[in-house]
Amino acid sequence: MAEYVILSKLTDEGRKTLKKKPERIMEVNKELEEMGVKVKKQYAVLGLYDFVNIVEAPDNETVMKMSVELGARGSVELLTLPALDIETLIKKIS
């Protein structure tokens, strides 16, 4: 499974939803699993983004589908970065 880092920024609508129903985060994680994307780690952060998520997915197409699905809701903007762990990087360039 490939790993991805997803930086997400809530829209005004997303912030309203989070304030009213914080547990919505976990509901979205379950929806992602149904799409084939597993959330491995999730952080709320300060700065330009509101959340950093480390996820696993079988391929880029699955992640693209997830991104379109979530983005179409109008509650979040995503920046998705394919990730490679350092051990794998070292093996690939050695």
Among candidate residues 7, 76, 65, 3, the one with its CA nearest the CA of residue 38 = 3
DSSP, collapsed to helix, strand or coil, labels residue 78 as strand
Q: From start to end of 1-94, where are the E strands?
A: 2-10, 38-44, 51-57, 76-83
- As its CATH architecture, domain 2-93 has 2-Layer Sandwich (3.30)
Residues above pLDDT 70, as percent of the chain: 100
Q: What is the pLDDT of residues 10-39, one digit of tens each?
A: 999 999 999 999 999 999 999 999 999 999
Sign of CA dihedral 67, 70, 73, 74: negative
Q: Using alpha carbons only, what angle is made at residue 6 by residues 62 and 75, rounded to the nearest 5 degrees?
A: 90
Q: What is the pLDDT of residue 9?
A: 97
pTM over 0.85: yes
- pLDDT of the residue at 58: 97
